[in-house]
Chain A
Protein backbone atom coordinates (compact mmCIF):
# COMPACT_ATOMS: atom_id res chain seq x y z
CA UNK A 1 0.00 0.00 0.00
CA UNK A 2 2.57 2.50 1.16
CA UNK A 3 5.00 1.65 -1.60
CA UNK A 4 2.36 2.21 -4.26
CA UNK A 5 1.44 5.62 -2.94
CA UNK A 6 5.12 6.47 -2.83
CA UNK A 7 5.41 5.52 -6.46
CA UNK A 8 2.62 7.92 -7.31
CA UNK A 9 4.23 10.77 -5.47
CA UNK A 10 7.50 10.33 -7.28
CA UNK A 11 5.88 11.67 -10.45
CA UNK A 12 4.68 14.90 -8.89
CA UNK A 13 6.75 17.94 -9.82
CA UNK A 14 6.81 19.27 -6.24
CA UNK A 15 8.45 16.17 -5.02
CA UNK A 16 11.31 16.18 -7.50
CA UNK A 17 12.14 19.75 -6.49
CA UNK A 18 12.40 18.56 -2.92
CA UNK A 19 14.77 15.84 -4.05
CA UNK A 20 17.14 18.39 -5.54
CA UNK A 21 17.46 20.11 -2.19
CA UNK A 22 18.32 16.90 -0.48
CA UNK A 23 22.14 17.11 -0.69
CA UNK A 24 22.08 20.46 1.12
CA UNK A 25 19.68 19.17 3.75
CA UNK A 26 21.67 16.00 4.18
CA UNK A 27 24.62 18.18 5.08
CA UNK A 28 22.86 20.89 7.08
CA UNK A 29 20.84 18.61 9.31
CA UNK A 30 23.74 16.65 10.83
CA UNK A 31 25.77 19.85 11.10
CA UNK A 32 23.02 21.49 13.13
CA UNK A 33 22.64 18.33 15.24
CA UNK A 34 26.37 18.28 15.99
CA UNK A 35 26.34 21.99 16.93
CA UNK A 36 23.50 21.43 19.40
CA UNK A 37 25.08 18.24 20.75
CA UNK A 38 28.38 20.02 21.34
CA UNK A 39 26.66 22.99 23.01
CA UNK A 40 25.00 20.56 25.40
CA UNK A 41 28.26 18.72 26.03
CA UNK A 42 29.93 22.00 26.99
CA UNK A 43 27.29 22.60 29.68
CA UNK A 44 27.73 19.02 30.93
CA UNK A 45 31.50 18.99 30.88
CA UNK A 46 32.46 22.55 31.88
CA UNK A 47 31.64 22.22 35.61
CA UNK A 48 33.20 18.76 35.84
CA UNK A 49 36.42 19.79 34.10
CA UNK A 50 36.78 22.93 36.20
CA UNK A 51 36.02 21.08 39.44
CA UNK A 52 38.51 18.34 38.57
CA UNK A 53 41.20 20.86 37.55
CA UNK A 54 40.60 23.05 40.61
CA UNK A 55 40.87 20.06 42.93
CA UNK A 56 44.48 19.67 41.68
CA UNK A 57 45.24 23.38 42.18
CA UNK A 58 46.60 25.26 45.22
CA UNK A 59 43.70 26.75 47.14
CA UNK A 60 44.59 30.39 46.50
CA UNK A 61 44.56 29.73 42.75
CA UNK A 62 41.24 27.85 42.55
CA UNK A 63 39.38 30.79 40.99
CA UNK A 64 42.37 32.38 39.26
CA UNK A 65 41.60 31.20 35.72
CA UNK A 66 37.85 30.90 36.22
CA UNK A 67 37.45 34.63 36.77
CA UNK A 68 38.07 36.10 34.28
CA UNK A 69 37.63 32.87 32.37
CA UNK A 70 40.49 31.35 30.40
CA UNK A 71 41.07 27.83 29.06
CA UNK A 72 43.55 27.29 31.91
CA UNK A 73 40.57 26.95 34.27
CA UNK A 74 39.80 23.58 32.71
CA UNK A 75 43.25 22.02 33.15
CA UNK A 76 45.38 21.65 36.28
CA UNK A 77 48.13 24.00 35.08
CA UNK A 78 49.45 24.53 38.64
CA UNK A 79 49.26 20.85 39.48
CA UNK A 80 49.43 19.83 43.13
CA UNK A 81 48.04 16.96 45.22
CA UNK A 82 47.83 19.26 48.26
CA UNK A 83 44.02 19.20 48.43
CA UNK A 84 43.80 15.40 48.34
CA UNK A 85 46.62 15.01 50.88
CA UNK A 86 45.01 17.45 53.32
CA UNK A 87 41.59 15.91 52.78
CA UNK A 88 42.78 12.42 53.66
CA UNK A 89 44.84 13.76 56.54
CA UNK A 90 41.57 15.09 57.95
CA UNK A 91 40.04 11.61 57.86
CA UNK A 92 38.20 11.62 54.54
CA UNK A 93 39.47 8.09 53.92
CA UNK A 94 37.19 6.86 56.67
CA UNK A 95 34.16 8.40 54.97
CA UNK A 96 35.16 6.66 51.72
CA UNK A 97 35.57 3.33 53.54
CA UNK A 98 32.24 3.82 55.35
CA UNK A 99 30.43 4.50 52.10
CA UNK A 100 32.04 1.55 50.31
CA UNK A 101 31.17 -0.77 53.17
CA UNK A 102 27.60 0.49 53.25
CA UNK A 103 27.12 0.30 49.46
CA UNK A 104 28.63 -3.19 49.16
CA UNK A 105 26.55 -4.46 52.12
CA UNK A 106 23.43 -3.05 50.50
CA UNK A 107 24.21 -4.77 47.21
CA UNK A 108 24.82 -8.16 48.85
CA UNK A 109 22.17 -8.27 51.59
CA UNK A 110 19.59 -6.08 49.89
CA UNK A 111 20.24 -7.77 46.57
CA UNK A 112 19.53 -11.20 48.06
CA UNK A 113 16.32 -10.06 49.76
CA UNK A 114 15.06 -8.21 46.67
CA UNK A 115 15.96 -11.09 44.33
CA UNK A 116 14.03 -13.56 46.50
CA UNK A 117 10.98 -11.31 46.52
CA UNK A 118 11.28 -10.65 42.78
CA UNK A 119 11.50 -14.40 42.18
CA UNK A 120 8.38 -15.08 44.23
CA UNK A 121 6.43 -12.40 42.37
CA UNK A 122 7.80 -13.46 38.99
CA UNK A 123 7.47 -17.26 39.20
CA UNK A 124 5.03 -18.35 41.90
CA UNK A 125 1.27 -18.32 42.06
CA UNK A 126 0.00 -17.84 45.58
CA UNK A 127 -2.88 -16.29 47.49
CA UNK A 128 -2.60 -12.55 48.00
CA UNK A 129 0.09 -12.13 45.32
CA UNK A 130 -1.48 -9.20 43.53
CA UNK A 131 -2.65 -7.61 46.75
CA UNK A 132 0.84 -7.77 48.28
CA UNK A 133 2.42 -6.48 45.10
CA UNK A 134 0.06 -3.53 44.84
CA UNK A 135 -0.08 -2.51 48.48
CA UNK A 136 3.53 -3.09 49.46
CA UNK A 137 5.75 -2.92 46.37
CA UNK A 138 3.81 -0.45 44.23
CA UNK A 139 2.85 1.83 47.09
CA UNK A 140 6.35 2.03 48.53
CA UNK A 141 7.67 2.56 45.00
CA UNK A 142 5.43 5.59 44.60
CA UNK A 143 6.01 7.26 47.95
CA UNK A 144 9.39 9.00 47.91
CA UNK A 145 11.46 7.86 50.90
CA UNK A 146 12.42 11.38 51.92
CA UNK A 147 8.76 12.23 52.54
CA UNK A 148 8.49 9.65 55.30
CA UNK A 149 11.87 10.30 56.90
CA UNK A 150 10.52 11.72 60.18
CA UNK A 151 8.54 8.65 61.36
CA UNK A 152 11.36 6.43 60.08
CA UNK A 153 13.74 8.52 62.15
CA UNK A 154 11.50 8.21 65.24
CA UNK A 155 11.22 4.45 64.68
CA UNK A 156 14.95 3.91 64.21
CA UNK A 157 15.61 6.18 67.18
CA UNK A 158 13.34 3.98 69.32
CA UNK A 159 15.50 0.97 68.31
CA UNK A 160 18.51 2.90 69.60
CA UNK A 161 20.03 2.92 66.11
CA UNK A 162 21.09 6.56 65.80
CA UNK A 163 24.75 6.73 64.70
CA UNK A 164 24.90 2.98 64.08
CA UNK A 165 25.53 0.80 61.03
CA UNK A 166 22.12 -0.85 61.45
CA UNK A 167 20.45 2.54 61.30
CA UNK A 168 22.33 3.48 58.16
CA UNK A 169 21.99 0.14 56.39
CA UNK A 170 18.79 -1.72 57.26
CA UNK A 171 16.07 0.80 56.28
CA UNK A 172 17.55 1.03 52.76
CA UNK A 173 17.98 -2.69 52.04
CA UNK A 174 14.59 -3.43 50.54
CA UNK A 175 14.09 -1.57 47.29
CA UNK A 176 10.84 -1.77 45.37
CA UNK A 177 12.45 -0.69 42.09
CA UNK A 178 14.95 -3.55 42.37
CA UNK A 179 12.17 -6.04 43.25
CA UNK A 180 10.44 -4.81 40.09
CA UNK A 181 13.53 -5.45 37.99
CA UNK A 182 14.03 -8.96 39.33
CA UNK A 183 10.36 -9.82 38.96
CA UNK A 184 10.34 -8.76 35.32
CA UNK A 185 13.50 -10.69 34.51
CA UNK A 186 12.54 -13.89 36.35
CA UNK A 187 9.07 -13.90 34.80
CA UNK A 188 10.63 -14.19 31.34
CA UNK A 189 12.84 -17.25 32.03
CA UNK A 190 11.53 -20.30 30.11
CA UNK A 191 9.63 -22.71 32.33
CA UNK A 192 11.40 -25.79 30.84
CA UNK A 193 14.69 -24.75 32.44
CA UNK A 194 13.14 -24.76 35.87
CA UNK A 195 11.03 -27.88 35.33
CA UNK A 196 14.09 -29.92 34.36
CA UNK A 197 15.84 -29.07 37.60
CA UNK A 198 12.70 -29.59 39.69
CA UNK A 199 12.23 -33.06 38.19
CA UNK A 200 15.77 -33.87 39.30
CA UNK A 201 14.64 -33.04 42.82
CA UNK A 202 16.34 -29.71 43.29
CA UNK A 203 14.86 -27.40 45.95
CA UNK A 204 13.60 -23.98 44.95
CA UNK A 205 16.54 -22.28 46.64
CA UNK A 206 18.87 -24.55 44.65
CA UNK A 207 17.05 -23.75 41.42
CA UNK A 208 17.48 -20.08 42.19
CA UNK A 209 21.18 -20.29 43.01
CA UNK A 210 22.44 -22.80 40.44
CA UNK A 211 20.03 -22.43 37.48
CA UNK A 212 18.59 -18.92 37.59
CA UNK A 213 21.46 -16.85 38.93
CA UNK A 214 24.06 -17.89 36.31
CA UNK A 215 21.79 -16.73 33.46
CA UNK A 216 20.75 -13.58 35.29
CA UNK A 217 23.88 -11.52 34.75
CA UNK A 218 22.10 -8.56 33.10
CA UNK A 219 19.60 -8.12 35.91
CA UNK A 220 22.23 -8.74 38.58
CA UNK A 221 24.52 -6.08 37.11
CA UNK A 222 21.66 -3.62 36.74
CA UNK A 223 20.28 -4.21 40.23
CA UNK A 224 23.75 -4.04 41.80
CA UNK A 225 24.50 -0.77 40.02
CA UNK A 226 21.19 0.74 41.09
CA UNK A 227 21.70 -0.26 44.72
CA UNK A 228 25.38 0.65 44.87
CA UNK A 229 25.01 4.05 43.25
CA UNK A 230 21.79 4.77 45.14
CA UNK A 231 23.56 4.11 48.42
CA UNK A 232 26.75 5.89 47.37
CA UNK A 233 24.81 9.03 46.45
CA UNK A 234 22.28 8.93 49.28
CA UNK A 235 22.38 11.95 51.52
CA UNK A 236 19.21 12.82 53.42
CA UNK A 237 18.92 9.63 55.48
CA UNK A 238 22.64 9.39 56.43
CA UNK A 239 22.54 13.09 57.32
CA UNK A 240 19.66 12.50 59.75
CA UNK A 241 20.66 9.13 61.14
CA UNK A 242 24.46 9.19 61.36
CA UNK A 243 25.84 12.70 61.72
CA UNK A 244 28.67 11.58 64.07
CA UNK A 245 32.11 12.09 62.55
CA UNK A 246 33.15 8.41 62.63
CA UNK A 247 29.95 7.28 60.90
CA UNK A 248 29.78 9.86 58.14
CA UNK A 249 29.44 8.85 54.52
CA UNK A 250 31.05 10.71 51.64
CA UNK A 251 28.01 12.80 50.67
CA UNK A 252 27.49 13.94 54.26
CA UNK A 253 31.18 14.66 54.78
CA UNK A 254 31.50 16.91 51.73
CA UNK A 255 28.21 18.65 52.48
CA UNK A 256 29.13 19.44 56.07
CA UNK A 257 32.55 20.58 54.84
CA UNK A 258 30.88 23.57 53.17
CA UNK A 259 30.16 25.09 56.55
CA UNK A 260 33.24 23.84 58.35
CA UNK A 261 36.04 24.58 55.94
CA UNK A 262 34.10 27.13 53.97
CA UNK A 263 37.08 28.61 52.18
CA UNK A 264 39.18 25.53 51.50
CA UNK A 265 37.73 25.26 48.02
CA UNK A 266 40.24 22.83 46.59
CA UNK A 267 39.56 20.30 49.36
CA UNK A 268 35.82 20.69 48.95
CA UNK A 269 36.22 20.04 45.23
CA UNK A 270 38.63 17.14 45.82
CA UNK A 271 36.02 15.50 48.06
CA UNK A 272 33.34 16.17 45.46
CA UNK A 273 35.48 14.62 42.73
CA UNK A 274 36.00 11.45 44.78
CA UNK A 275 32.25 11.35 45.43
CA UNK A 276 31.56 11.74 41.69
CA UNK A 277 34.22 9.51 40.17
CA UNK A 278 33.09 6.23 41.75
CA UNK A 279 29.58 6.16 40.20
CA UNK A 280 30.96 7.56 36.92
CA UNK A 281 33.51 4.74 36.66
CA UNK A 282 30.75 2.22 37.34
CA UNK A 283 28.22 3.64 34.91
CA UNK A 284 30.47 4.13 31.87
CA UNK A 285 31.37 0.44 31.31
CA UNK A 286 27.91 -0.83 32.31
CA UNK A 287 25.82 1.96 30.78
CA UNK A 288 23.65 -0.40 28.74
CA UNK A 289 22.54 -2.30 31.85
CA UNK A 290 22.12 0.85 33.89
CA UNK A 291 20.04 2.67 31.31
CA UNK A 292 17.82 -0.38 30.82
CA UNK A 293 17.38 -0.71 34.56
CA UNK A 294 16.33 2.85 35.22
CA UNK A 295 14.20 3.28 32.14
CA UNK A 296 12.53 -0.14 32.32
CA UNK A 297 10.03 1.01 34.93
CA UNK A 298 8.91 3.94 32.84
CA UNK A 299 7.95 1.88 29.85
CA UNK A 300 5.83 -0.92 31.22
Chain B
Protein backbone atom coordinates (compact mmCIF):
# COMPACT_ATOMS: atom_id res chain seq x y z
CA UNK B 1 0.00 0.00 0.00
CA UNK B 2 2.71 2.40 1.07
CA UNK B 3 4.88 1.41 -1.88
CA UNK B 4 2.07 1.79 -4.38
CA UNK B 5 1.42 5.31 -3.08
CA UNK B 6 5.05 6.15 -3.67
CA UNK B 7 5.05 4.99 -7.26
CA UNK B 8 1.89 6.90 -8.24
CA UNK B 9 3.70 10.10 -9.28
CA UNK B 10 6.10 8.07 -11.40
CA UNK B 11 3.20 6.29 -13.10
CA UNK B 12 1.65 9.67 -13.87
CA UNK B 13 4.94 10.89 -15.33
CA UNK B 14 5.74 7.74 -17.25
CA UNK B 15 3.93 8.21 -20.58
CA UNK B 16 4.94 11.81 -21.25
CA UNK B 17 8.45 11.60 -19.87
CA UNK B 18 9.17 8.34 -21.68
CA UNK B 19 8.07 9.94 -24.95
CA UNK B 20 10.15 13.05 -24.25
CA UNK B 21 13.21 10.97 -23.41
CA UNK B 22 12.91 8.70 -26.46
CA UNK B 23 11.92 11.28 -29.07
CA UNK B 24 13.45 14.51 -27.76
CA UNK B 25 16.20 14.00 -25.23
CA UNK B 26 17.86 10.98 -26.82
CA UNK B 27 17.93 12.60 -30.30
CA UNK B 28 19.56 15.69 -28.76
CA UNK B 29 22.40 13.56 -27.47
CA UNK B 30 22.37 11.45 -30.63
CA UNK B 31 22.86 14.55 -32.79
CA UNK B 32 26.17 15.14 -31.04
CA UNK B 33 27.08 11.43 -31.35
CA UNK B 34 25.95 11.20 -34.96
CA UNK B 35 28.24 14.07 -35.89
CA UNK B 36 31.22 11.82 -35.21
CA UNK B 37 30.04 9.19 -37.69
CA UNK B 38 30.14 9.17 -41.43
CA UNK B 39 27.01 7.62 -42.81
CA UNK B 40 25.06 7.63 -45.99
CA UNK B 41 21.28 7.39 -46.27
CA UNK B 42 21.65 5.19 -49.32
CA UNK B 43 24.19 2.55 -48.24
CA UNK B 44 23.25 2.69 -44.56
CA UNK B 45 26.83 2.07 -43.38
CA UNK B 46 28.07 4.06 -40.42
CA UNK B 47 31.72 4.47 -39.70
CA UNK B 48 33.18 6.28 -36.69
CA UNK B 49 35.03 9.28 -38.00
CA UNK B 50 36.05 11.35 -34.98
CA UNK B 51 36.05 15.00 -35.91
CA UNK B 52 36.26 14.31 -39.65
CA UNK B 53 32.76 15.69 -40.26
CA UNK B 54 33.68 18.89 -38.42
CA UNK B 55 36.92 19.19 -40.39
CA UNK B 56 34.91 18.75 -43.57
CA UNK B 57 32.34 21.40 -42.77
CA UNK B 58 34.87 23.84 -41.31
CA UNK B 59 36.94 23.65 -44.49
CA UNK B 60 33.88 24.04 -46.68
CA UNK B 61 33.30 27.57 -48.07
CA UNK B 62 29.57 26.84 -48.55
CA UNK B 63 29.21 26.17 -44.82
CA UNK B 64 31.03 29.41 -43.96
CA UNK B 65 28.96 31.34 -46.49
CA UNK B 66 25.85 29.87 -44.89
CA UNK B 67 27.14 30.79 -41.44
CA UNK B 68 27.79 34.34 -42.64
CA UNK B 69 24.31 34.67 -44.18
CA UNK B 70 22.73 33.33 -40.98
CA UNK B 71 24.72 35.79 -38.87
CA UNK B 72 23.72 38.76 -41.04
CA UNK B 73 20.12 37.56 -41.06
CA UNK B 74 20.12 37.26 -37.25
CA UNK B 75 21.68 40.69 -36.74
CA UNK B 76 19.01 42.25 -38.94
CA UNK B 77 15.85 40.30 -38.23
CA UNK B 78 15.99 40.13 -34.43
CA UNK B 79 16.44 43.85 -33.65
CA UNK B 80 13.89 44.74 -36.33
CA UNK B 81 11.31 42.30 -35.02
CA UNK B 82 11.79 43.20 -31.37
CA UNK B 83 11.72 46.97 -31.99
CA UNK B 84 8.55 46.66 -34.08
CA UNK B 85 7.00 44.18 -31.64
CA UNK B 86 7.64 46.58 -28.77
CA UNK B 87 6.12 49.46 -30.74
CA UNK B 88 3.10 47.32 -31.61
CA UNK B 89 2.71 46.17 -28.00
CA UNK B 90 2.71 49.79 -26.78
CA UNK B 91 0.16 50.68 -29.47
CA UNK B 92 -2.28 47.88 -28.71
CA UNK B 93 -1.86 48.52 -25.00
CA UNK B 94 -3.47 51.99 -25.43
CA UNK B 95 -6.92 52.41 -23.94
CA UNK B 96 -8.72 53.41 -27.12
CA UNK B 97 -12.22 52.66 -28.35
CA UNK B 98 -12.18 49.59 -30.62
CA UNK B 99 -8.72 48.45 -29.52
CA UNK B 100 -10.04 44.91 -29.00
CA UNK B 101 -10.85 44.63 -32.69
CA UNK B 102 -7.32 45.75 -33.59
CA UNK B 103 -5.82 43.22 -31.19
CA UNK B 104 -7.87 40.42 -32.75
CA UNK B 105 -6.78 41.34 -36.27
CA UNK B 106 -3.13 41.46 -35.19
CA UNK B 107 -3.57 37.87 -33.94
CA UNK B 108 -4.30 36.57 -37.44
CA UNK B 109 -0.67 36.08 -38.62
CA UNK B 110 0.08 34.08 -35.47
CA UNK B 111 -2.50 31.48 -36.47
CA UNK B 112 -1.17 31.20 -40.02
CA UNK B 113 1.68 28.75 -40.63
CA UNK B 114 5.04 29.90 -41.91
CA UNK B 115 4.47 27.83 -45.07
CA UNK B 116 1.25 29.60 -45.94
CA UNK B 117 2.88 32.93 -45.16
CA UNK B 118 5.80 32.07 -47.43
CA UNK B 119 3.50 30.94 -50.25
CA UNK B 120 1.29 34.03 -50.12
CA UNK B 121 4.14 36.51 -49.68
CA UNK B 122 6.14 34.70 -52.37
CA UNK B 123 3.35 35.49 -54.82
CA UNK B 124 2.91 39.03 -53.42
CA UNK B 125 6.62 39.66 -54.05
CA UNK B 126 6.61 38.13 -57.54
CA UNK B 127 8.98 40.14 -59.68
CA UNK B 128 6.68 40.24 -62.71
CA UNK B 129 3.12 40.45 -61.47
CA UNK B 130 3.15 40.52 -57.68
CA UNK B 131 0.99 42.95 -55.75
CA UNK B 132 3.90 44.79 -54.15
CA UNK B 133 5.27 45.63 -57.58
CA UNK B 134 1.70 46.40 -58.62
CA UNK B 135 1.56 49.00 -55.85
CA UNK B 136 5.05 50.35 -56.65
CA UNK B 137 4.22 51.05 -60.31
CA UNK B 138 1.00 52.80 -59.25
CA UNK B 139 3.26 55.28 -57.48
CA UNK B 140 5.51 55.54 -60.54
CA UNK B 141 8.30 53.54 -58.91
CA UNK B 142 10.31 50.86 -60.74
CA UNK B 143 9.54 47.18 -60.30
CA UNK B 144 11.83 45.30 -57.91
CA UNK B 145 13.20 41.74 -58.29
CA UNK B 146 12.78 40.95 -54.54
CA UNK B 147 13.41 37.19 -54.09
CA UNK B 148 15.33 37.01 -57.37
CA UNK B 149 17.96 39.54 -56.38
CA UNK B 150 21.12 38.87 -54.38
CA UNK B 151 20.63 42.21 -52.62
CA UNK B 152 16.91 41.92 -51.86
CA UNK B 153 16.24 38.21 -51.28
CA UNK B 154 17.38 38.15 -47.65
CA UNK B 155 15.34 41.31 -46.92
CA UNK B 156 12.32 39.61 -48.49
CA UNK B 157 12.81 36.65 -46.13
CA UNK B 158 13.08 39.12 -43.22
CA UNK B 159 9.77 40.67 -44.27
CA UNK B 160 8.09 37.26 -44.49
CA UNK B 161 9.45 36.13 -41.11
CA UNK B 162 8.45 39.42 -39.50
CA UNK B 163 4.86 39.27 -40.73
CA UNK B 164 4.39 36.48 -38.17
CA UNK B 165 7.21 37.38 -35.79
CA UNK B 166 6.24 40.96 -34.97
CA UNK B 167 2.64 40.21 -33.88
CA UNK B 168 3.74 37.04 -32.09
CA UNK B 169 6.42 38.66 -29.94
CA UNK B 170 4.28 41.73 -29.36
CA UNK B 171 1.83 39.46 -27.50
CA UNK B 172 4.52 38.58 -24.97
CA UNK B 173 5.51 42.21 -24.61
CA UNK B 174 1.86 43.25 -24.29
CA UNK B 175 1.42 40.75 -21.47
CA UNK B 176 4.53 42.26 -19.88
CA UNK B 177 3.18 45.79 -20.25
CA UNK B 178 -0.10 44.80 -18.66
CA UNK B 179 1.77 43.36 -15.69
CA UNK B 180 3.18 46.79 -14.86
CA UNK B 181 1.02 48.27 -12.09
CA UNK B 182 -0.71 51.40 -13.48
CA UNK B 183 -0.03 53.20 -10.18
CA UNK B 184 3.71 53.22 -10.96
CA UNK B 185 3.16 54.99 -14.27
CA UNK B 186 0.61 57.38 -12.74
CA UNK B 187 3.09 58.26 -10.02
CA UNK B 188 5.71 59.06 -12.65
CA UNK B 189 3.23 61.21 -14.54
CA UNK B 190 2.34 63.10 -11.39
CA UNK B 191 6.05 63.59 -10.74
CA UNK B 192 6.23 65.34 -14.10
CA UNK B 193 7.76 62.64 -16.28
CA UNK B 194 6.77 62.89 -19.93
CA UNK B 195 5.67 59.85 -21.92
CA UNK B 196 9.15 59.15 -23.29
CA UNK B 197 10.80 59.48 -19.87
CA UNK B 198 8.36 57.12 -18.19
CA UNK B 199 8.76 54.67 -21.07
CA UNK B 200 12.56 54.56 -20.92
CA UNK B 201 12.94 54.99 -17.14
CA UNK B 202 10.08 52.85 -15.88
CA UNK B 203 8.44 50.70 -18.54
CA UNK B 204 11.60 49.34 -20.19
CA UNK B 205 13.37 48.36 -16.95
CA UNK B 206 10.20 46.63 -15.73
CA UNK B 207 9.94 44.80 -19.06
CA UNK B 208 13.50 43.52 -18.74
CA UNK B 209 12.59 39.90 -18.01
CA UNK B 210 10.04 39.64 -20.79
CA UNK B 211 12.36 41.42 -23.21
CA UNK B 212 15.18 39.02 -22.38
CA UNK B 213 12.87 36.06 -22.94
CA UNK B 214 11.59 37.47 -26.23
CA UNK B 215 15.11 38.26 -27.39
CA UNK B 216 16.26 34.70 -26.78
CA UNK B 217 13.15 32.97 -28.09
CA UNK B 218 13.10 35.16 -31.20
CA UNK B 219 16.81 34.66 -31.83
CA UNK B 220 16.46 30.89 -31.55
CA UNK B 221 13.33 30.81 -33.74
CA UNK B 222 14.95 32.88 -36.48
CA UNK B 223 18.16 30.89 -36.21
CA UNK B 224 16.10 27.88 -37.37
CA UNK B 225 14.32 29.68 -40.22
CA UNK B 226 13.64 27.04 -42.83
CA UNK B 227 10.27 26.84 -44.59
CA UNK B 228 10.44 30.12 -46.57
CA UNK B 229 13.89 29.17 -47.89
CA UNK B 230 12.77 25.69 -48.93
CA UNK B 231 9.61 26.99 -50.57
CA UNK B 232 10.84 30.20 -52.17
CA UNK B 233 14.58 30.50 -52.77
CA UNK B 234 16.30 27.12 -52.19
CA UNK B 235 19.05 29.20 -50.61
CA UNK B 236 19.58 31.40 -53.66
CA UNK B 237 20.14 33.51 -55.58
CA UNK B 238 23.87 32.79 -55.36
CA UNK B 239 23.52 31.41 -51.79
CA UNK B 240 22.34 34.82 -50.53
CA UNK B 241 19.53 33.22 -48.50
CA UNK B 242 21.24 29.92 -47.74
CA UNK B 243 20.44 29.96 -44.01
CA UNK B 244 22.15 27.28 -41.98
CA UNK B 245 19.00 25.25 -41.23
CA UNK B 246 18.34 24.93 -44.93
CA UNK B 247 21.99 23.98 -45.53
CA UNK B 248 21.69 21.12 -42.99
CA UNK B 249 18.55 19.90 -44.76
CA UNK B 250 20.22 20.13 -48.17
CA UNK B 251 23.24 18.17 -46.97
CA UNK B 252 21.37 15.61 -44.92
CA UNK B 253 18.23 14.90 -46.86
CA UNK B 254 18.90 16.01 -50.43
CA UNK B 255 22.53 14.79 -50.64
CA UNK B 256 22.28 12.05 -48.00
CA UNK B 257 25.33 13.33 -46.10
CA UNK B 258 23.98 12.88 -42.58
CA UNK B 259 27.44 13.14 -40.99
CA UNK B 260 28.09 16.66 -42.24
CA UNK B 261 24.49 17.59 -41.54
CA UNK B 262 24.73 16.32 -37.95
CA UNK B 263 27.99 18.19 -37.43
CA UNK B 264 26.29 21.42 -38.52
CA UNK B 265 23.28 20.69 -36.31
CA UNK B 266 25.64 20.06 -33.39
CA UNK B 267 27.28 23.43 -33.97
CA UNK B 268 23.80 24.99 -34.03
CA UNK B 269 22.82 23.09 -30.88
CA UNK B 270 25.85 24.46 -29.06
CA UNK B 271 25.04 27.98 -30.25
CA UNK B 272 21.44 27.59 -29.02
CA UNK B 273 22.72 26.42 -25.63
CA UNK B 274 25.05 29.40 -25.43
CA UNK B 275 22.17 31.78 -26.25
CA UNK B 276 19.96 30.17 -23.60
CA UNK B 277 22.83 30.07 -21.12
CA UNK B 278 23.36 33.79 -21.55
CA UNK B 279 19.64 34.36 -20.97
CA UNK B 280 19.60 32.30 -17.78
CA UNK B 281 22.73 34.09 -16.55
CA UNK B 282 21.30 37.55 -17.28
CA UNK B 283 17.96 36.76 -15.63
CA UNK B 284 19.56 35.15 -12.59
CA UNK B 285 21.91 38.07 -12.01
CA UNK B 286 19.13 40.48 -11.12
CA UNK B 287 16.74 38.41 -9.04
Contact = CB atoms under 8 A, between A and B. Distances in A.
- Contact-residue bracket for chain A: 35 or more
A143 B116 contact: no
Interface in A1-20: 2-3, 5-6, 9, 15
Contact of A30 (B22, B94, B111, B115): B94
B49 to A, nearest CB: 16
A116 B15 contact: yes
B82 to A, nearest CB: 13
Interface of A is mostly: helix
Given A258-B119, A299-B179, A68 B137 contact: yes
A298 B113 contact: no
A37 B92 contact: yes
B76 interface: no
A126 B224 CA distance: 37
B121 A148 contact: no
Contact of B34 (A5, A119, A154): A154
Contacts of B121: 47
A171 B23 contact: yes
Contacts of B276: 142
Nearest to A278: B111
A299 B209 contact: yes
A145 B19 CA distance: 13
A33 interface: yes
28 contacts: A9-B192, A37-B91, A40-B91, A43-B163, A46-B124, A46-B131, A47-B121, A51-B120, A66-B124, A67-B129, A73-B134, A120-B10, A124-B8, A143-B24, A144-B272, A145-B24, A148-B269, A150-B248, A150-B265, A152-B27, A174-B16, A258-B231, A268-B119, A284-B107, A290-B107, A298-B175, A298-B213, A299-B213
Interface of B: 6, 8-10, 12-13, 15-17, 19-28, 30-31, 33-34, 87-88, 91-92, 94, 96, 102-117, 119-121, 123-124, 126, 128-131, 133-135, 137-138, 163, 167, 171-172, 174-176, 179, 187, 190-192, 209-210, 213-214, 217, 220-221, 224, 226-227, 230-231, 245, 248, 252-253, 258, 261-262, 265, 268-269, 272-273, 276
For the complex of A and B, the 6 pairs showing the least CB-CB separation, nearest first, are A151-B30, A67-B134, A174-B19, A69-B134, A117-B16, A233-B113
